[in-house]
Structure 1
Amino acid sequence: MQDLLKINFPGKLVFGKGTLEQLPDEITALSCNRLLIVTISPLLTQLNTLIAILEARGVKVFVNMSIMREPTFAEVQQMMQEVSGFNPDVVAGIGGGSVLDVAKLIAALLDNEQGLKEITGIGLLKKRSKKLICIPATSGTGSEVSPNSILVDEADNQKKGIISPFLVPDIVYIDPLLTMSVPPSITAVTGIDALTHCLEAYTNLFAHPLIDVYAFEGMRLIAAHIVQAVQNGKDSAARTQLAMGSLLGGFCLGPVNTAGVHALSYPLGSTFHLTHGLSNALLLPYVMEFNYVAAPKRYADVAIALGCDRQADDIKTALKGIEKIRSLISDCGIPARLRDVGIPKEAISQMAVDAMKITRLLKNNPRPITEADAIEIYNAAY
């Protein structure tokens, strides 16, 4: 358990159904003349009214919809070239985790002498001069409240993190109604991603009692509502609880962060372009099987949060939690095996080599993971 805890919260957080309608007044109150919106084309219809209101108030709006997948360094640099001439006062990211990650970086890089490569790593970004607003359109990454942005570096095909308190937004709006149109498959994998944030924070070597509160409740909310949100996406109550669980998972990312599941999932995204949430879902039960013997009490607590009954001892309770995770993945229609998504078995050795490079996450895992262990986990998941 860590003794020192640092949490960087957004300056303002608004949560609730229909709250997106308040955004024009929020932006106007910032004395904004030029607004950059980073989003995706499927959301544009929902944003047209917001944009029209702002333009009627004299705000110039530039919309960028170029982020279609997990972003790369080149894509961020290309966007910087496109928007730097516009020089916005405020940057708003409205979308999934990739969109939010990029919006955070653009806001940080505008009017900044530091370049993208210079800020890659932990604590290297020294300032942000632009106001930043984040509005998630999925319930998954928690990027709206985290100090993290993750990019794929084409130079070595590795995912790399930019971690800084200056990436935490000034203002966050979470409107669960914005997630109502998210397809079942995306609802499923982003929800499991959020669950993994909470689970890995709770079982982390550096777990902290304050973050445990967020992590436990996040697991409880997501486990109780994810299947309903996937199977009936129009259920606004389930969507709201899932959005809250995702937010709580986001609060876990800065002060405690994730561990072995995320580290081993990175090669699946960077090499095979699987979505981040799917990569985590494919590995979660297998990393849990590897880890629980090192922290049986913690994994027993996880099982309770997931809705399992306490068994005769912690080991048996922890195993019930792993069974519950498998059940959730199955009920959400998520593939359960690496072979089901086209990962060739001969790629496992290189994936293990690449996973060992993610030391910032591996160091958090409750049980040390060696390259041989990673191979064993990938084989179990195959």
Structure 2
Amino acid sequence: MSLARNITLHLPKRLEIGAGAVRKVGEWAADARRVFVLTTPHTTEFVARLGLAGEVQVFDAIPGEPDIACFDAALSAARLARPDLVVGLGGGSVMDLAKLVAAMWDGTQSLADVAGPNKVSGRNTRLMQIATTAGTGSEAGIRALITDPGKGNKIAVESPHLLADLAVLDPELTFSVPPAVTAATGIDAMAHCVEAFTNKNAHPVIDGFARMGIDLVGRYLARAVRDGQDTEAREGMMLASFYGGICLGPVNTAAGHALAYPLGTLLHLPHGLANAIIFPHVLAFNESAVPEKTAEVVAALGLSGNLLPAAHRFCENLGVEMRLSAHGAAEDQLDRFAADAHAIRRLMDNNPRDMSVAEVRAIFQAAY
């Protein structure tokens, strides 16, 4: 083990995990007088289960891929509410938005001011993140992504000021997640771990979290898809997602996520689904550059035979529709997808094997 390269590992101040963990929220937040909850229409029903004693304002106008207009609306609503506690109650998009709102509602910085690493000036408001899916691991991390529809890309903000004071992983909140969403978000969690594990910037400490996450996905994702009420499987997947979120901090993802982003910004696919479609292709593309680590991934997921079709079957057997054409993509969009993905250098430069625009285009064609 070589620890020659320094890394910084940020973790939430407190983590509550396990069935019924959400019942501890009210006690922790008992002194909050004004609470601003960001959620979606699908998860607003959980607000009543939080036991919040203060005045609660709910903002639920959050689409699957929040854009600048959504961010502006959430920030305006928060400024009217003047919260002393911000709660992200939902999936990764909701929690990303909650990070930015908590840090920015009482300041003067714009989204353009904070884009990039370490530009957020501070945060005065407590932040609680309550995951209702098992995929992004956003509750664990210091990054937030907002879609810029004008440019067709993601604005990435990274700062320790975006870290949660309390993260809650209660598998009971994921019982109602449909099988297809469970599968796609679970593959996204795995992609975080795999892309960090096989990354040019891989680190032994992060490799440990990645291995645990990949192993949990191999053991529990199919079970969670088959039976949404399987508490053990749901908890295992929430932990896998959390580990994936930790991997994103000091190492980040690579080409897989770079290729997935245009599918969200241009095709409007949910983030987890986009990553699921791309995952087998990039895993197979990178095999020659990181054969030993790829072999570990193969073993953990129980894959056999030629890697690309085996990984494709793994995703397909979970119920994921893997053809871009079935999701509304047109073949004449593939060039734009490839150009946009190749331009995301903050991720593409992490990939263990260099990827040309033509090779990116070939992957989109194969996925089409």
TM-score (normalizing by structure 2): 0.96
Q: Which range moved further: 328-337 or 176-185?
A: 328-337
Kindly indicate whether residue 358 of structure 2 is the aligned counterpart of residue 372 of structure 1.
yes
Q: Which range moved further: 230-239 or 37-46?
A: 37-46
Kindly indicate whether residue 295 of structure 2 is the aligned counterpart of residue 287 of structure 1.
no
Aligned to 2:52: 54
Aligned to 2:250: 255
Kindly indicate whether residue 68 of structure 2 is the aligned counterpart of residue 73 of structure 1.
yes
Aligned to 1:243: 238
Aligned to 1:215: 210
Residues 227 and 328, structure 1, Cα contact 8 Å, conserved in 2 = no
Residues 113 and 119, structure 2, Cα contact 8 Å, conserved in 1 = yes
TM-score (normalizing by structure 1): 0.92
| Structure 1 counterpart of 2:283, one-letter code | M
Residue of structure 1 aligned with 2:259, choices 241, 264, 278: 264
| Structure 2 counterpart of 1:372, one-letter code | A
For residue 88 of structure 1, give the secondary structure of its aligned residue in structure 2: coil
For residue 141 of structure 1, give the secondary structure of its aligned residue in structure 2: coil
| Structure 1 counterpart of 2:13, one-letter code | G
Kindly indicate whether residue 336 of structure 2 is the aligned counterpart of residue 350 of structure 1.
yes
Shift of 1:41: 2.3
Q: C-alpha distance in 1, partners of 2:301/2:203?
A: 20
Kindly indicate whether residue 158 of structure 2 is the aligned counterpart of residue 160 of structure 1.
no
For residue 66 of structure 2, give the secondary structure of its aligned residue in structure 1: coil
Residues 217 and 305, structure 1, Cα contact 8 Å, conserved in 2 = no
| Structure 2 counterpart of 1:19, one-letter code | A
For residue 41 of structure 1, give the secondary structure of its aligned residue in structure 2: coil
Q: C-alpha distance in 1, partners of 2:15/2:213?
A: 17
Shift of 1:328: 2.3
For residue 173 of structure 1, give the secondary structure of its aligned residue in structure 2: strand
For residue 133 of structure 2, give the secondary structure of its aligned residue in structure 1: coil
RMSD after superposition:
1.6
What are the ranges of 5 or more consecutive residues in structure 1 without an aligned counterpart?
A: 310-315
- What number of residue pairs does the alignment pair up? 366
Q: C-alpha distance in 2, partners of 1:152/1:170?
A: 25
| Structure 2 counterpart of 1:301, one-letter code | E
Aligned to 1:304: 299
| Structure 1 counterpart of 2:298, one-letter code | A
Q: C-alpha distance in 2, partners of 1:78/1:357?
A: 29
Q: C-alpha distance in 2, partners of 1:46/1:291?
A: 41
For residue 81 of structure 2, give the secondary structure of its aligned residue in structure 1: coil
Aligned to 1:8: 10
Shift of 1:323: 4.8
Q: C-alpha distance in 1, partners of 2:100/2:52?
A: 24
Q: C-alpha distance in 1, partners of 2:183/2:49?
A: 29
What are the ranges of 5 or more consecutive residues in structure 2 without an aligned counterpart?
A: none
Aligned to 1:40: 40
Residues 139 and 245, structure 2, Cα contact 8 Å, conserved in 1 = yes
Kindly indicate whether residue 27 of structure 2 is the aligned counterpart of residue 25 of structure 1.
yes
For residue 145 of structure 2, give the secondary structure of its aligned residue in structure 1: strand
Q: C-alpha distance in 2, partners of 1:276/1:76?
A: 18
Q: C-alpha distance in 2, partners of 1:338/1:121?
A: 30
Q: C-alpha distance in 2, partners of 1:62/1:144?
A: 21
Aligned to 1:313: none
Aligned to 1:99: 94
Q: C-alpha distance in 2, partners of 1:165/1:229?
A: 32
The ranges of structure 1 where at least 4 consecutive aligned residues each deviate by more than 3 angstroms after the TM superposition are: none
| Structure 2 counterpart of 1:348, one-letter code | L
**Distance change >3 Å, CA 206–CA 279, structure 1 → 2:** same
**Identical columns (%):** 38
For residue 102 of structure 2, give the secondary structure of its aligned residue in structure 1: helix
Q: Which range moved further: 200-209 or 220-229?
A: 220-229
Q: C-alpha distance in 2, partners of 1:61/1:324?
A: 48
Q: C-alpha distance in 2, partners of 1:304/1:145?
A: 27
For residue 159 of structure 1, give the secondary structure of its aligned residue in structure 2: strand
Shift of 1:42: 2.6
| Structure 2 counterpart of 1:54, one-letter code | L
Residues 327-374 of structure 1: CA distance to partner in whole angstroms, max 9, x if unpaired? Answer: 321121101222222211111111111112211111110001121111
Residues 25 and 52, structure 2, Cα contact 8 Å, conserved in 1 = no
Residues 129-172 of structure 1: CA distance to partner in whole angstroms, max 9, x if unpaired? Answer: 11101010000000001111111112212122111111111111
Residues 38 and 60, structure 2, Cα contact 8 Å, conserved in 1 = yes
Shift of 1:287: 1.1
Shift of 1:381: 1.6
Residues 23 and 49, structure 2, Cα contact 8 Å, conserved in 1 = no
